[in-house]
Structure 1
Amino acid sequence: MARGLFAESGADLKLVGVRKQFPGYTAVEELDLTVPAGTFFALLGPSGCGKTTTLRLVAGLEEPTAGRILIGGTDVTDTKPYRRPVNTVFQSYALFPHMTVLENVAFGLRRRGIGDPVEKAHAALRLVELDHLADRKPAQLSGGQQQRVALARAVVNRPALLLLDEPLGALDLKLRRQMQLELKNIQSEVGLTFVHVTHDQEEAMTMADTVAVMNRGRIEQIGAPEEIYELPRTAFVANFLGQSNLFGGTVAESGSGAFGVDVAGRRILVPIDRAQRTTGAVTVGVRPEKLLLVTEEPAPMAGVNVLGPGRVTDVSFSGVSTQYLIDVPHVGTVIVFAQNLVFGPVVEPGAEVWVTWRVEHGFGLADAPAASALEQAHEALVSGVEG
């Protein structure tokens, strides 16, 4: 479908020193953010982190306490919501029940006096593959179909910026994953700038070109999904975007490409270019899927870290992989995700095991004391459940 039918291009979004205070608390703290035109941007974080407030500030539904909001280089901080080149798709579809699907999509065009509203509405419905249901009422559609109609209604208005506020939250898991791919394809097709708010880590990583992880009104880290996952800066990010094994220790040596950390009597090597801190007390980590589980103490090998022995305390089958929890003395619980290549678990609870991982898979956090990092890790895990 021709991109020009909907919008010449999206516009960039810039927040400069934006702060939002409510009585008794600050929801957004001095936020500086740039979203390039034509990209799919995700604001990811737990409930109460400020992401939805940020979206409402951009839409004009809230007024910032301080700072400026620019869309396509134009300052819209004091511009009324209906005058901003923005459309929002909410979790609640808010379709007019007495109108047909086609009438719902064409409604905004007719109201604004845009030419050829029916033709444009049909084109938007073809984009979301629902033109064959144009004459149905919303009540005759499934939840996923209603969400696609809401998306078509937003896209047909040719906004420079499309805001998505947890738009897939009401859908079941299988449909949500299908819609994730469809949303990404639609964004690529029409070339708009999408800003998507979600607490779903997989959703953010699946769809977005860039992810910003928010915590307590601030952005903790921003970058491509792969970059943030592979190189988290803080314990909060490491455990909100996926899971991580975090170890506290003291730097004992430093070489040309890696430094050694004393972790419960074991020397753990971490690449210098994958660490935020390389001296003193540090927190280092590795993702659970990077670990290998072995039942005999491995011989020392260049480029490989070893931790153990420990005891398997829990084995959980999840289909694609099995999760093992291992209690390592003076270290704590280590999580291992092992791909299910054989039937049944590799080891049972109570087994003595060691874990190994390649040095290049480790990372070092900005968090200095281990206790602080572990507290933040716990906070991230709890936030993920609540969010």
Structure 2
Amino acid sequence: MAAGTFAEKGADLELVGITKTFPGFTAIQSLDLFIPAGSFFALLGPSGCGKTTTLRLVAGLEEPTAGRIVIGGQDVTATKSFQRPVNTVFQSYALFPHMTVLENVAFGLRRRSIASPLEKAHEALRLVELDHLAARRPGQLSGGQQQRVALARAVVNRPALLLLDEPLGALDLKLRRQMQLELKDIQSEVGLTFLHVTHDQEEAMTMADTIAVMNKGEIEQMGAPEELYELPRTAFVANFLGQSNLFTGEVSGSTPDALTVAIAGQRLIIPTARAPRRKGTVTVGVRPEKLLLLTSAPAPSSGSNALGPGRVIDVSFSGVSTQYTVAIPGAGDVVVFAQNMVFGPVVHVGAEVWVSWNVEHGFGLEDSVEEAAAGVQDAAAAQSADADTRTGVTSSVRA
């Protein structure tokens, strides 16, 4: 793909003390956010967390109760939506069915009396690799093709900021994954600032440079996808962005490099650098795919942790991996993802096993025990509400 005249850097976006109150509830509470120019930024969170309200505020479709919206250094808080350097791609695409693909893309240019609207529309269609379908109408296109037309129509206006409101939600799983990669490529080509709103963790992690996880109108954690996944700071992030096994226990010892936490009569070690809370009762975690499933007790090692023995109570095959649920006395149910290297499960329901993991793969939460328990419940409720597009079982905090 050649970006041509679309290779213009987008503008940065800054939200300063944004609050949005509706009758009876507050959707966003004192939100501060800075998105650098030219980045692909994702707002990730469950339904009702405030992410779509944030996008509508940026687009000018809602007015903030308090705070300022600054795009490219200019305060646009009181500016009408059509006067902002912003375009939005919606899940519904909102294409005109009676117009051709080319006419749909050129529509906004013609309304603003931009020179050479058809030439610019053809260029935008070439960007999304659909110029050969310029004469067709939207009803003659697939869902993925319509999504690309909607993107071309938004990009052709050269907005400083492109807003994506669940743009892939209407596509089937295989096409959605394909479009995730294509959208990322297009963003790199055009050089605009993308603000993507989604509840789909995989979508956010695949495309975004930076993710802000929202919950109850506030940002719980923000950072690169790898950072959020490998080192979540709260139970909500740990269980909304993937799955986690979380345990609570008392800190029984510490050195400058590591903490020792007593859990289920055994000692678990986590690096001090990965442990925000270092005294008293703490919550520690490990991702299911980091665990090894063992059929005999592992030899003690300073570089690894182990829990067991436990009993396998469920085995679930999912193609690439098999999910094992292991009930360990005093630790609760522990979930293990094991890559399928051989035909059939490694162990069966009823088998006695141990779980082990590298010390460096553990993490601690900054939550108190009560906050961690509430965060797990929030994440579980969010995943249940979005069960039509998300799968998986969220673990609970175990004492």
Q: Which amino acid aligns with 1:376?
A: G
Is 374-383 or 359-368 further displaced after alignment?
374-383
After TM superposition, list the pairs within 5 Å mapping 1:101-180 onto structure 2.
101-180=101-180
Contact persistence 1:7–1:159 (CA under 8 A): no
Computed over aligned residues only, the root mean square deviation of the Cα atoms, in angstroms, reads: 0.9
Q: Which amino acid aligns with 2:18?
A: V
- In structure 1, the residue matched to 2:295 is 295
Contact persistence 1:19–1:29 (CA under 8 A): yes
How far has the Cα of 1:3 moved from its partner?
Answer: 4.2
Q: How far apart are the structure 2 equivalents of 1:315 and 1:225?
A: 29
- In structure 1, the residue matched to 2:385 is 386
Contact persistence 1:7–1:158 (CA under 8 A): no
Q: How far apart are the structure 2 equivalents of 1:8 and 1:194?
A: 13
Secondary structure at the aligned position of 1:381 is classed as helix
Q: How far apart are the structure 2 equivalents of 1:98 and 1:381?
A: 44
After TM superposition, list the pairs within 5 Å mapping 1:198-347 onto structure 2.
198-347=198-347
- In structure 2, the residue matched to 1:85 is 85
Secondary structure at the aligned position of 2:251 is classed as strand
How far has the Cα of 1:375 moved from its partner?
Answer: 3.3
How far has the Cα of 1:2 moved from its partner?
Answer: 5.4
Q: Which amino acid aligns with 2:359?
A: V
How far has the Cα of 1:292 moved from its partner?
Answer: 0.1
**When the two structures are superposed, what TM-score results if normalisation uses the length of structure 1?**
0.98
- Count residues with an aligned counterpart: 386
How far has the Cα of 1:330 moved from its partner?
Answer: 1.3
Q: Which amino acid aligns with 2:162?
A: L
Does residue 65 of structure 1 match 2:65? yes
Q: How far apart are the structure 1 equivalents of 2:315 and 2:242?
A: 19
- In structure 2, the residue matched to 1:33 is 33
How far has the Cα of 1:5 moved from its partner?
Answer: 1.1
- In structure 2, the residue matched to 1:351 is 351
Contact persistence 2:20–2:66 (CA under 8 A): yes
The runs of at least 4 consecutive aligned structure 1 residues that moved more than 2 Å come to: 1-4
Q: Which amino acid aligns with 1:289?
A: E
Q: How far apart are the structure 1 equivalents of 2:65 and 2:73?
A: 21
How far has the Cα of 1:379 moved from its partner?
Answer: 1.9
- Percent identity over the alignment is 75
Secondary structure at the aligned position of 1:88 is classed as strand
Q: How far apart are the structure 2 equivalents of 1:8 and 1:46?
A: 33
List gaps (5 residues or longer) in structure 2: 387-399
Contact persistence 1:199–1:384 (CA under 8 A): no
Contact persistence 1:305–1:359 (CA under 8 A): yes
Q: Which amino acid aligns with 1:166?
A: E
Secondary structure at the aligned position of 1:149 is classed as helix
Q: Which amino acid aligns with 1:143?
A: G
Q: How far apart are the structure 2 equivalents of 1:3 and 1:32?
A: 32
Deviations 1:345-379 (A, max 9, x none): 0000111110000000000001121x542332132
Q: Which amino acid aligns with 1:153?
A: R
**When the two structures are superposed, what TM-score results if normalisation uses the length of structure 2?**
0.95
Secondary structure at the aligned position of 2:184 is classed as helix
Does residue 377 of structure 1 match 2:376? yes
